[in-house]
Structure 1
Amino acid sequence: MNDHIAPPALRPIQGAARRAVLVLVLAGAAWAARAVWQIRLASAGQPPSGPPDQGDGRHRPLTALENAYHIVSSLGDAATTLCAIAFLAWLWRVRDNARTLSGEHPRYAWPWVYAGWIVPVANLWIPRGIVADIHRASAPGERTPHAVNWWWGLWLVGTLSGTGLMYTVTTDAVIARAYTDAPPLLAADAAVIGAAVAGVFVVRALTAVQQKHMHETLSAGVGGPGDR
């Protein structure tokens, strides 16, 4: 998409919003399951044979509980990926509509819709800035919903705490940590779950305010599509 061409027509958003809410709930449930299994690992205690990864490329056979955690972790990763896809699809739509409603170019160029999540340092504020900019353009003069700040604060805690989504270690390493130092893992899990819940409120709030202003615009005589 090019931000320098004419604004696009208003796009239906309710279907995309419903999908985003669904996968946010799914992702939150997946991370809750991950936390439950980490608690089970901590309660069971590390086997006498030591952690799964024994160093120097040696791995002992996994216990049934450790195997189950691998499955839960993989399902959580899949749910998180689906969540990212659906959330970004919704974000594109409300961003395009915000541009059409306001007649202004977005403050952040379109590559930042993706790059803002992964570029170091920039990922500390740009995604929240994009969401806040969409709300400002969609509803001038209205206060940004509190859910946006809760969502973004919990997201940062959950991803940048050293144990969350951005903690790039193997599943076996997470298992070993659950045996020896579970509280930081569980705190990161709780933050991610909280971010997913707050994200639901963000999607609902921005969708509602944009639907309201889209309806006003269409009632004033500007044509637009139905939802799908």
Structure 2
Amino acid sequence: MLCVRCRTGTAVTDGGLCTSCPVAGPPLPGRPEPVATGPGGWGVGTWPRSPVGLSRAVTALLGAVIVTDLAAIGTGLHLRALWQGLVEEGDPAVHGSRGVAAERLHSVAGTGQAAVFVATAVVFIIWFHRTRRNAEVFDPGAQRMGPGWSVGGWFVPFANLWFPYRVATGVWEGSVVPGPEGGRPTASRAPLRLWWAVWIASSFLDSFTARMEGSAETPEQTVQGLGLVVAADAFEIVSAVLAIFFVRTLTRMQVERAALRAPRAGSGQLTAP
């Protein structure tokens, strides 16, 4: 914790002062006033701000992504079975009322997937931006890119394959609880790396399967395209599960890091009014 008076030295006394500051007296000239800190170490009207509520919303929406993907897999397999019946046995059911109903269900499932994905993306980016701003307070030296890239990095073609991950690595490093002897702490990035690798692979697979399904001209190609779409949906479920793990892990890290800033009785640190 920084000294509550000069805000530069490390606090070593019960009153939150460093070795260079006297026991009594006003803050040194030109030094900022101590920032008010509320319960849990979160800022009062300023950064850092708790990402817990947003993380819960993201987790719930990612759960909805999984549900819509499962629905799409079910309707896709049913439609594929009808087309496969035509290919292997000459069953014309796919061209009748059953086929029309199956196509409609698969289309509705796809619409649901798109709607839930957009909602999830919006809330996820808001959560991601908040964790980036928090990391700026926790450890600004670990941040490789500005906080604006936590939003804009997702929308720049080609750069969106790398920029969000680069932002996330800085947030991850800045959110690790430092050891008792100080210095820059380290923690395994496995949850981050695994989620990002699967997310990128899932994005490419979605794009590829969409082209395959859209360009199908024969029943055989339709069967193949629907099979790939089902596989892509299953892969997206894996990506969503890993995203939940990443979101929950990083949020927990920030909660633990913020707790180090929480006011203690008799510390002299400002608290929430």
Gaps of 5+ in 2: 1-42, 87-91, 177-183
Structure 2 counterpart of 1:85:
122
Q: 2:55 is matched with which residue: 2, 8, 17?
A: 17
Question: Is residue 202–residue 235 contact of structure 2 (8 Å, CA) maintained in 1?
Answer: yes
3-state DSSP of counterpart to 1:181:
helix
- Secondary structure of 1:9's aligned partner: coil
Q: Is the 8 A contact 1:17 1:203 kept in 2?
A: yes
Distance between the aligned counterparts of 2:256 and 2:197, measured in 1? 27
Quick check: 2:72–2:110 contact (8 Å CA) kept in 1?
Answer: yes
Provide the C-alpha distance between the structure 1 equivalents of 2:271 and 2:242, rounded to a whole number of angstroms. Answer: 30
TM-score relative to the length of structure 1: 0.77
Aligned to 2:251: 207
Q: Does 1:136 align with 2:173?
A: yes
Instruction: State the percentage of identical aligned residues.
Output: 22
SS at match of 2:261: helix
What is the alpha-carbon distance in structure 1 between the residues aligned to residue 212 and residue 227 of structure 2?
18
Q: Secondary structure at 1:45's aligned position in 2?
A: helix
Unmatched segments (≥5 aa) in structure 1: 1-6, 52-61
TM-score by length of 2: 0.66
Q: 1:218 to 1:103 in 2, by over 3 A?
A: farther
Distance 1:100 1:180, change over 3 A: same
Q: RCO higher in 1 or 2 (8 Å CA, sep ≥ 6)?
A: 1
Conserved? CA contact 1:159–1:167, under 8 Å: no
Q: Does 1:118 align with 2:155?
A: yes
Map of 1:76 onto structure 2: 113
Could you say what the CA RMSD is over the residues aligned between the two structures, in angstroms? Answer: 3.1
Check conservation: 1:158, 1:190, Cα contact below 8 A. Answer: no
- Identify the range of structure 1 (147-156 vs 16-25) with the bigger mean alpha-carbon deviation: 147-156
In structure 2, the CA distance between the partners of 1:40 and 1:27, relative to structure 1 (3 Å rule), is: same
Partners in 2 of 1:117 and 1:131 — Cα distance?
12
Residues 216, 225 of structure 2: 8 Å contact kept? no
- Which protein is bigger by CA-based radius of gyration? 2
How many positions carry a matched residue from both structures?
207
